[in-house]
Amino acid sequence: MRWAWWIGSLVIVVALGWRVGTDHIWADFGNGYYYAGRKILQNPAQLYYGENCGGYVNFPLLAYIFVPFGLMAKGEAGRIFFLVNIVSILPLAYWLVKLGNLNGWRRWFLLFFLLISGPLDYSIWLGNSTNLIMLSMVLALWWFKKGKGLGTGILLGINGLVKIPMVIPAGYFFVRRQWMVVIGGVLTVGFVLVLSLGLIPFSLNRMWLDNCILSFSGNPVAAYNNQSVAGVLARELIPGSRIDYWLPLDPTPLFATVSGITVLLLYVPVLIVMLYDWRSARTKSGYLLEFFLVLVCSLLTSPISWTHYFMFLLIPVAFYLDENLSTTGTKGLNLLLLVSLILVTVPVDLTLAFFDGFGQRVALSLHFWGGVLFYIFLFALWMRHRKSILAK
Q: Write the pLDDT tens digit of every residue in 140-193.
A: 999 999 999 999 999 999 998 888 888 888 889 999 999 999 999 999 989 988
How far apart, in whole angstroms, are the C-alpha atoms of residue 59 and residue 66? 13
The number of distinct structural domains making up the chain is 3
Instruction: Judge whether 96 lies within some domain.
Output: no
pLDDT of residue 168: 86
Nearest to 234 by CA among 351, 164, 248: 248
Nearest to 283 by CA among 275, 291, 293: 291
pLDDT of residue 22: 54
pLDDT beyond 90 at 10: no
pLDDT of residue 199: 82
Structure letter (DSSP) for residue 64: G
- 209 and 227 both lie in a single domain: no
pLDDT beyond 80 at 136: yes
How far apart, in whole angstroms, are the C-alpha atoms of residue 254 and residue 238? 8
pLDDT of residue 328: 60
Residue type, 371: G
Nearest to 120 by CA among 134, 107, 108, 110: 134
pLDDT beyond 90 at 11: no
In which domain, by residue range, is 165 found? 129-216
Instruction: Judge whether 123 lies within some domain.
Output: no
Angle between helices 366-391 and 253-275 (to 10 degrees): 20
How far apart, in whole angstroms, are the C-alpha atoms of residue 90 and residue 354? 31
Instruction: Judge whether 121 lies within some domain.
Output: no
- 228 and 210 both lie in a single domain: no
45-67: average pLDDT: 81
- 381 and 233 both lie in a single domain: yes
State phi, psi for 226 to the nearest 5 degrees: -95, 110
Nearest to 311 by CA among 132, 185, 152: 132
Is residue 269 within 8 Å of 294, Cβ to Cβ?
no
Is residue 150 within 8 Å of 184, Cβ to Cβ?
yes
Instruction: Judge whether 68 lies within some domain.
Output: yes
Beta carbons within 8 Å of 373's beta carbon, 6+ residues apart: 336, 339, 340, 343
- 230 and 341 both lie in a single domain: yes
Is residue 135 within 8 Å of 159, Cβ to Cβ?
no
pLDDT-derived band at 329, boundaries 50, 70, 90: low
Per DSSP, what are the bridge partners of residue 306?
Answer: 226
Average pLDDT, whole number, for the chain?
Answer: 88
Among 29, 61, 90, the domain boundary falls at 90
How far apart, in whole angstroms, are the C-alpha atoms of residue 336 and residue 331? 9
Among 41, 69, 90, the domain boundary falls at 90
Tell me how many degrees the CA angle 22-26-27 measures, rounded to the nearest 5: 155
Q: Based on the number of CB atoms within 10 Å of its own CB, is 185 exposed (0-12), middle (13-18) or buried (19 or more)? A: buried
pLDDT-derived band at 58, boundaries 50, 70, 90: confident
pLDDT-derived band at 82, boundaries 50, 70, 90: confident
- 161 and 247 both lie in a single domain: no
For residue range 380-390, what is the model confidence (pLDDT) as tens digits? 999 988 877 66
pLDDT beyond 80 at 44: no
How far apart, in whole angstroms, are the C-alpha atoms of residue 222 and residue 240? 10
Instruction: Judge whether 109 lies within some domain.
Output: no
- 283 and 331 both lie in a single domain: yes
